[in-house]
Amino acid sequence: MATTKRLCWYVSLVSIIISMVVWNSKPYITESLSRNPVDITSNMSHVKNENNQSVLPILSKQEKKKEKYLVYLCDEKKACGGWGDRQRGIVSLFILSLVWKRTLKILISSPCDIKPYYKPTKEYNWIFTEEELKGLKGKRNTTLEFMHRCKPLYDTYNLNSSDIAEVLYIKTNCVSFLPIAQKYAKFLPAYLKNKGRASVFRESWNRIMIPTDKVLSEVMKIESSGVINSDAKKSGKELVCVHLRTYLTENLTYDCGGFPPVAVTKLWNFIDGHFHNKSRIFVATDHLGIRKSAISKYGTRYIGSYASNVHPDSMRSNLTLACRSQESAYVDQLMLSKCDVLIYYRKSGFSIHASYLKTEWRNIYSIMRNSKSTFSLVKEN
């Protein structure tokens, strides 16, 4: 009898202790559920009630959060613009991908695939992997075109809704990447906050784009060509670079306010009067006459570019020429960003972005056309 009483007392004591442990553990369990519901679900999915039903039917069926994509698209179906247009679109979507928490991808197939010339950084892999492509099968996708229209991109959150698409393809040349960065600054990393237009572009571009060895080797060939004069180098203005966009090429002949070719002699006179007489000269242009004039004027001081420059949207019928021209555009822009002195055409996105990519903002001059035969030149501060 005494043994039975002691056993009952022992069982009662154990029950009390267990109850206290369970009661004191409730805050921890609640906190764990709120912090990591997926782990709790996996640990409790086997628990059943009296009717053999799952105690947590919703949590036990909870799927991994679906990844959503924001894709910059440039294909052969419609115009994408020139290289400057494409760069603006890419940077705009990069910023929006950070705001919307979508994975950025870049698809440029027109007129040529971009991957032989630019590759992703380790931080942002904008190329679809085989695994990702498999996962996209059956997913909702939408293609939107905002060429020359920026407002739909930054004036609403509705575009980010998964109801629109898990994979959102956008074709755009949006010029308003700075307003986007300013409007949604609280969602962006520190390197994009309180920055000017040039800094926002440079920080964004360098975090997603790396020129391939194919492009860099061509840039190095140009950089090392010609005779480097020690006196010119001491002046800090040894390599003088010029980009003159005329919009008057063999394949694109319409006047939209480009640099007037007839005024090029005046520009050569400015270079002669402001920089060392043995500085090397790099000229990138879409006008054969200007290139010939520079070669004739500077002789061995002229180090390039010799490449034909054509608009990518206008050369889809001649892929060989188009791809060669695209490669020269990538090379020329990188060269412009590396020069001691940069003289660029203010109405060309290609020119402007080259100036943004310069790590030191000095010895930069912008050109604006005043008429069909004159231009003005301003030193940037």
Are 199 and 291 in the same domain?
no
84 lies in which domain range? 69-211
Question: Is 217 a domain residue?
Answer: no
Give pLDDT, residue 190.
Answer: 96
Report which DSSP code applies to 129: P
Are 73 and 181 in the same domain?
yes
Are 342 and 249 in the same domain?
yes
Are 27 and 102 in the same domain?
no
Question: Is 216 a domain residue?
Answer: no
**How far is residue 334 from each of residues 49, 90, 156, 369, measured CA to CA in Å?**
67, 17, 35, 24
Give pLDDT, residue 250.
Answer: 55
Q: Tell which of 36, 60, 84 closes a domain.
A: 60
CATH number of domain containing 130 = 3.40.50
Question: Is 293 a domain residue?
Answer: yes
pTM listed for this prediction: 0.79
Question: Is 286 a domain residue?
Answer: yes
Are 202 and 251 in the same domain?
no
CA atoms of 170 and 106, how far apart (whole Å): 10
Give pLDDT, residue 41.
Answer: 29
Q: Tell which of 186, 211, 236 closes a domain.
A: 211
Question: Is 140 a domain residue?
Answer: yes
Please return the burial class of 45, using the count of CB atoms within 10 Å of its CB with bins 0-12, 13-18 and 19+: middle
Give pLDDT, residue 48.
Answer: 32
Tokens of 161: 């809704």
Are 53 and 157 in the same domain?
no
Q: How far apart are the first and last CA of the chain?
A: 101
Give pLDDT, residue 156.
Answer: 62
Are 259 and 355 in the same domain?
yes
Are 298 and 327 in the same domain?
yes
Q: CA angle 61-62-65, nearest 5°?
A: 150
Question: Is 97 a domain residue?
Answer: yes
Q: Which residues pair with 108 in a beta bridge?
A: 74
Return the closest-CA partner of residue 219 out of 364, 314, 60, 336: 336
Are 297 and 333 in the same domain?
yes
225-265 tens-digit pLDDT: 999 999 999 999 999 999 999 888 655 555 567 899 999 99
Are 80 and 36 in the same domain?
no
Q: Which residues of the chain have pLDDT under 70?
A: 1-65, 156-158, 162, 249-256, 306-317
Give pLDDT, residue 14.
Answer: 42
Looking at the structure of the chain, the number of domains it has is 3
Are 287 and 164 in the same domain?
no
Question: Is 220 a domain residue?
Answer: no
Q: Tell which of 158, 187, 211 closes a domain.
A: 211
CATH number of domain containing 258 = 3.40.50.11350
Are 135 and 254 in the same domain?
no
Question: Is 260 a domain residue?
Answer: yes
Which phi and psi angles does 53 have, rounded to 5°?
-105, 155
277-336 tens-digit pLDDT: 999 999 999 888 999 999 999 999 999 776 666 666 666 667 777 888 889 999 999 999
